[in-house]
Amino acid sequence: MTVVPVLPAPRTQSPLWVPLVTQHSFDEASYTAVSADGVHVTFEDGRKRICAKSGLWNTNLGYGNQQIADSIANELRTASYLPLFRSAHRKAAEAAGALLTLPAHSFHRAVFSTSGGAANDAAMKLARHYFVLNAQPERKLIVGLDGSYHGLTYGSQALSGDELGQAVYGVDRRNIRHIRFDDDGAELNRLMLREGHRVAAVILEPVLGSGAESVPDAFIEDVIKHRDQHGFLLVADEVATGFGRVNGWFASDEWPQQPDIVVTSKGLTNGTSACAALLVAQRVTQRFDTTEAIFVHGETQAGTPATCAAILSTIAEMKRLDHHTLNKQVAEGLGTLMEDLRRLPSVGNSTGRGCMRGLKLHSRNGLPLSSEGVLAVVRSIHQAGAIVQPGPGRIQLLPALTYTEENFEELQAAMEAGLVKAHRDGVFE
């Protein structure tokens, strides 16, 4: 008689293809959220975990802000959808006007998009078109920073300085250049000497989204000097750093001269809508106006009435809650937390500023912890009760501006427990 082995029942396949992970090892119960409120997320495993990354850098005022939710609901009843293709609507004009009042520098018009990646695509297109109108079609090069992250659409993936599988996907980087920002401007100077006449734009994050590395003020000043000399456009990618994440409304408010374009998203609607915007200086808009040129860019869901209501309500809520004060309080709390965590083995220095910070981890041999090791630490902290973001050789922390002392105590307890467990499991070997 032949004995047929009884095999375990195959795991039920989820209909959802979860981004950026292998599907076979995805822990659905622990990572499938069912609700979120304030600074906590509840998962299918029944556990409520404290969120220390604001969703994805975007729920700066916490989950479930009632005023923002109500404004979106009201607008959905007033106008469930209106496009911006060769047309406009009142809510879009109001939101654009409100956005232009926020930066310390002067901007002339707002262009709506649906994500940081798509908005960076639009910024690159706008820069190249601008120089065609200036009778300089050879200016096609876009310069980004090593280690930067700008998105995963084809254009923004090419611009990103991180290794994100660009070769696998055939991303065209022939008109992209990447330079260091931590070498006192040496690579920038060499690039400009060699190709400054071909550069359409330099696009940089004031604090890198991947790793929370702050770009030095001296480097930004060097870029501005090269802009004065070569005439390219300077774009501040503030998808992550804007709306109170680093300071004020935008980190570029502190720059000695204004960028030509600011890209904003994430905190723009407190994460409630697929939304981004480009704030464009008059230098650019005037060229399109005087030549009566059409900027060929549009996105079906960009600047919908509900999205624009979310922008207006988010701005109002940030003012009502005094986000300047909240930013300072949370930044201080983060600084204290990171100093306390440095008592633990394998925890190193911190990076970033404001409410956008990184905490370096190293293996027992003193080298930066591998990406696999960082992910293992993040999973261990997740199981201990906190949601943190992995980064290159570090953990990233981006809590909501509404964090309290009790929230920081809860976060610290979970992080310490997760780090200690990771040590016991040999993650740092």
* Residue 397, Cβ density class (10 Å: 0-12 exposed, 13-18 middle, ≥19 buried): buried
Most confident of 14-23, 313-322, 363-372: 313-322
Mean pLDDT for all residues in the chain: 96
Angle between helix 90-100 and helix 305-321 axes, rounded to 10 deg: 40
Is 60 exceeded by the pLDDT of residue 118?
Answer: yes
* Residue 110, Cβ density class (10 Å: 0-12 exposed, 13-18 middle, ≥19 buried): buried
Q: What is the CATH number of domain 66-321?
A: 3.40.640.10
Strand partners, 63: 38
Q: What is the pLDDT of residue 12?
A: 63
Cβ-contact 377, 422 below 8 angstroms: yes
Region 8-16: mean pLDDT is 66
Q: Which residues contact 429 (CB under 8 A, 6 or more apart)?
A: 363, 364
Task: Identify the band that residue 24 occupies on the pLDDT scale cut at 50, 70 and 90.
Answer: confident
Going from the C-alpha of 344 to that of each of 250, 340, 350, 362, 428, the distances in angstroms are 34, 8, 13, 11, 12
Tokens 């306390």 map to which residue?
Answer: 340
Q: What is the pLDDT of residue 92?
A: 98
Q: What is the pLDDT of residue 413?
A: 98
Task: Identify the band that residue 10 occupies on the pLDDT scale cut at 50, 70 and 90.
Answer: very low
Cβ-contact 250, 236 below 8 angstroms: yes
Region 299-305: mean pLDDT is 98
Q: What is the per-residue pLDDT across 145-161, written as a single tens digit (0 to 9) for each?
A: 999 999 999 999 999 99
Is 60 exceeded by the pLDDT of residue 2?
Answer: no
Angle between helix 186-195 and helix 217-230 axes, rounded to 10 deg: 10
Region 293-299: mean pLDDT is 97
Q: What is the pLDDT of residue 11?
A: 54
Q: What is the per-residue pLDDT across 54-96, written as a single tens digit (0 to 9) for each?
A: 999 999 999 999 999 999 999 999 999 999 999 999 999 999 9
Q: What is the pLDDT of residue 368?
A: 96
Cβ-contact 401, 61 below 8 angstroms: yes
Cβ-contact 62, 48 below 8 angstroms: no
From the candidate CATH numbers 3.90.1150.10, 3.90.550.10, 3.30.540.10, 3.30.230.10, the one assigned to the domain spanning 28-64+322-424: 3.90.1150.10
Strand order in the sheet with 347-353: 347-353, 356-361, 394-397, 389-391
Q: What is the per-residue pLDDT across 353-394, written as a single tens digit (0 to 9) for each?
A: 999 999 999 998 899 999 999 999 999 999 999 999 999 999
Cβ-contact 115, 57 below 8 angstroms: no
The single-letter code of the amino acid at 142 is: I
Of residues 30 and 4, the one with the higher pLDDT is 30
Q: What is the largest CA-CA distance in the chain?
A: 89
pLDDT above 90: percentage of residues in the chain:
94
Q: Which residues contact 414 (CB under 8 A, 6 or more apart)?
A: 49, 50, 381, 384, 385, 386
The single-letter code of the amino acid at 395 is: I
Is 50 exceeded by the pLDDT of residue 136?
Answer: yes
pLDDT above 70: percentage of residues in the chain:
97
Q: What is the pLDDT of residue 14?
A: 83
> What residue spans define the domains of the chain?
28-64+322-424, 66-321
Q: What is the per-residue pLDDT across 149-206, written as a single tens digit (0 to 9) for each?
A: 999 999 999 999 999 999 999 999 999 999 999 999 999 999 999 999 999 999 999 9
Nearest to 267 by CA among 305, 296, 238: 238
- ∠ CA 357-358-359 to the nearest 5 degrees? 130
Residue 85, both tokens = 């293709």
Q: What is the pLDDT of residue 25?
A: 81
Distance CA 359, CA 349 (A): 6
